[in-house]
Structure 1
Amino acid sequence: MSKQVKIAVRAIFVAMLAAMLLVFSACAATQQDEGDDVESITIGTLVTEDILPLWLAEEEGLFNANGMIVHIQTFQSAQELTVAITSGEVDMAMTDPMVAASLVAGGTDVSLEWVTLGATANQGRFGIMTSPQSGIKTLSDLAGKPIGVGSNTILEYVMDKLMQQAGVPDDQIMTEEIKKLPVRYEMMASNQIAAAVLPGSLLALGEATGNLLVADDSQGENLSQSVMIARTAFTATDSGEKALAKLSTIWDLAVEMINANPSSYRPLLAEKASLPDPVRDSYQVSSYPQAARPTSQMIDPILEWMRQKDYLTVDLHYDAATGLFVK
């Protein structure tokens, strides 16, 4: 099948989905006219590309069209987002599996609802970058040298795995705690630290401005996932359950729209994710997965890593069928 035919088929499929959504929207509108409550949900997220399908749904009015009031609330740090989840300020959140497991260990029950990026290795990107002045060329060159990262994060997990794959002994993997990504990037670029672990947007900025990518996780073993989580106190209610079902349907439609023509949504991503100016017009928009729970093969190695690092004080096991962590 030619590329042109594939594009045409995909466009037709997206149009069919949109038509189905309109029918669903009409039903939802009728139900509202009859007095049914509108489902409301607040979603917390960091300012990252992982949640682009929901920004698109907001932009295209898909939430309102389907009888939903959705508030997407952005946070500047994982710590702030964690507080919002724990307090019930948000009902759902885009985060990483480490945060979800730590929440459950601390007494806030959440479920993993779907992978937002990372169903395959080429979705989303994390990597280790250094400045051209550092003299570092390979991961082996970083043995015994401090790497800027935030502890108990997907970035630290990816760093450990990449270093181990390169044969660097665990006792030679050194870190420097730098939680704020902009600070971490600037310290790397100015050669104040040997290297930094960064997400895709900052890796792209570094590449565009002459810094050196030592390694990333976009090839080979699928190391990293971001996930949509929900507070079980929210999904246990009838309105929460209905809102979650509608949200996953809308996510899937938005994913089809993005995957049909990723580059056309670069301006929206640049605005919402605050992409740096040097990459706003060239950043490669990822494909996105349909809503599906993370597998045990994705989550179990992370839980084991957390135990080895003493980040997990409670023995948790992941149930892929329900998305719950079981104590």
Structure 2
Amino acid sequence: DKGFFEDAGVDVKIEYFTAAKDRDAALTAGELDGVLCDEVAISIYQNSDIDMQIISVTDGFWILVASKDSGIQSMADLEGKKVGLSENTMIEYLVDDMVTSSGLAVEDIEKVAIPSMPTRLEMLRNNQIDAALLPAPFNDVAIADGGLEIIKVDNTEANIAVLGMLKEAITNKSAEVKAYVEAYNKAVEYINSTDISEYEDIIIKTVGYSEDMRGNITLPTYRKAELPPVEAVNKVMDWAKNKGLLTKDISGTDVLHEVE
């Protein structure tokens, strides 16, 4: 809406999806050049011979929210509880990491696969699950409804989300991809240096916040386009391989591409 892409001379069409399976269906149909996804998705793409490259991390945070009637006050209370997530994604990776880091075993919780974010939120609100890992605006809504924040994870601790671009697009549309990154960096500068009230309308409309969240929306400090550490990517790839999601050996060096 601020014209950063237009100023950079690149025509960008943004498609919105509420579930990874819908995004992946559009990608498979050849409707997308790039995706905002996660490293687990990148590994699965690569394993399926879709050469998706990471061109940057993106910033944000996820919150593990417990329902107000669950009795959960800390990670230790998750034992025997139902946790809503989407399987075979970074969300499940993060839940596994949270659980094992707290001293529990992954088997100590009951994972409930709920790919759709709106459905996951509704099931949490209706006490059909005890906790859920949610992004904005769903985590804000859940907490506003009385849910309890158990733990927050941002991109300083894990690469929650990345910007992936097909190698074919990087090769055949190199000028456009470079212009996209330049526009992204200018947008980062604008957001970090401008009071949120100047663009809050755009956030509410685009992300889907309710109007009563106006004035209470919190954003991270965004970084300009940069690649994640190879070691962090390797950790996720190893997790995916151990879960049986991959039949190939894929490393961070296979999926990282610096746009120059």
User: Which TM-score applies when normalising by structure 1?
Assistant: 0.74
Question: In the alignment, does 2:54 pair up with 1:86?
Answer: no
Q: Distance in 2 between matches of 1:86 and 1:270?
A: 30
Matched residue type, 1:235: I
Aligned partners of 1:77 and 1:180 also within 8 Å: yes
Q: What's the secondary structure of 2:83's corresponding residue?
A: strand
What are the superposed Cα offsets for residues 173-196 of structure 1, whole Å, 9 maximum, x if unpaired?
A: 320111111111111122111211
Aligned partners of 1:252 and 1:290 also within 8 Å: yes
Shift of 1:110: 1.2
Greater alpha carbon shift after TM alignment, 249-258 vs 65-74: 65-74
Q: Distance in 2 between matches of 1:104 and 1:97?
A: 10
Shift of 1:298: 2.5
Partner of 2:7: 65
Partner of 1:286: 220
* Bigger RCO (CA 8 Å, 6+ sep): 2
Partner of 2:231: 297
Q: What's the secondary structure of 1:196's corresponding residue?
A: strand
Question: In the alignment, does 2:117 pair up with 1:175?
Answer: no
Q: What's the secondary structure of 2:179's corresponding residue?
A: helix
Aligned residues between the structures: 257
Distance 1:65 1:169, change over 3 A: closer
Aligned partners of 1:130 and 1:189 also within 8 Å: no
Shift of 1:166: 1.0
Q: Distance in 2 between matches of 1:70 and 1:317?
A: 30
Q: What's the secondary structure of 1:72's corresponding residue?
A: coil
Runs of 4+ in 1 over 4 A off after TM superposition: none
Which segments of 5 or more consecutive residues in structure 1 lack a partner in the other structure? 1-58, 118-123
Q: Distance in 2 between matches of 1:134 and 1:278?
A: 25
Partner of 1:267: 201
Partner of 1:145: 81
Distance 1:225 1:136, change over 3 A: closer
188, 193, 196: which is aligned to 2:124?
Answer: 188
Question: In the alignment, does 2:16 pair up with 1:74?
Answer: yes
Aligned partners of 1:139 and 1:163 also within 8 Å: yes
134, 141, 144: which is aligned to 1:198?
Answer: 134
User: Which TM-score applies when normalising by structure 2?
Assistant: 0.91
Aligned partners of 2:192 and 2:222 also within 8 Å: yes
Q: Distance in 2 between matches of 1:92 and 1:111?
A: 9
CA RMSD of aligned residues (A): 2.0
Question: In the alignment, does 2:169 pair up with 1:234?
Answer: yes
Larger Rg: 1
Q: Distance in 2 between matches of 1:287 and 1:265?
A: 15
Q: What's the secondary structure of 1:71's corresponding residue?
A: coil
Q: Distance in 1 between matches of 2:151 and 2:10?
A: 42
Shift of 1:322: 4.3
Aligned partners of 2:74 and 2:150 also within 8 Å: yes
After TM superposition, the structure 1 = structure 2 runs for residues 28-107 of structure 1, keeping only pairs within 5 Å, are 59-107=1-49
Shift of 1:285: 2.1
Q: What's the secondary structure of 1:282's corresponding residue?
A: coil
What are the superposed Cα offsets for residues 148-207 of structure 1, whole Å, 9 maximum, x if unpaired?
A: 111012221111111111100232132011111111111112211121111132221122
Aligned partners of 2:64 and 2:131 also within 8 Å: yes
Q: What's the secondary structure of 1:94's corresponding residue?
A: strand
Q: Distance in 2 between matches of 1:192 and 1:87?
A: 34
Aligned partners of 2:58 and 2:162 also within 8 Å: yes
Partner of 2:210: 276
Shift of 1:101: 1.2
Q: What's the secondary structure of 1:113's corresponding residue?
A: strand
Sequence identity of aligned pairs in percent? 25
Matched residue type, 1:225: I
Matched residue type, 2:166: R
What are the superposed Cα offsets for residues 60-86 of structure 1, whole Å, 9 maximum, x if unpaired?
A: 223223322221122232111112223
Question: In the alignment, does 2:258 pair up with 1:319?
Answer: no
Matched residue type, 2:190: M
Q: What's the secondary structure of 2:221's corresponding residue?
A: coil
Aligned partners of 2:52 and 2:255 also within 8 Å: no
Shift of 1:115: 0.9
What are the superposed Cα offsets for residues 20-79 of structure 1, whole Å, 9 maximum, x if unpaired?
A: xxxxxxxxxxxxxxxxxxxxxxxxxxxxxxxxxxxxxxx122322332222112223211
Shift of 1:321: 8.7
Q: What's the secondary structure of 1:114's corresponding residue?
A: strand
Partner of 1:109: 51
Q: Distance in 2 between matches of 1:300 and 1:96?
A: 13
Distance 1:136 1:322, change over 3 A: closer
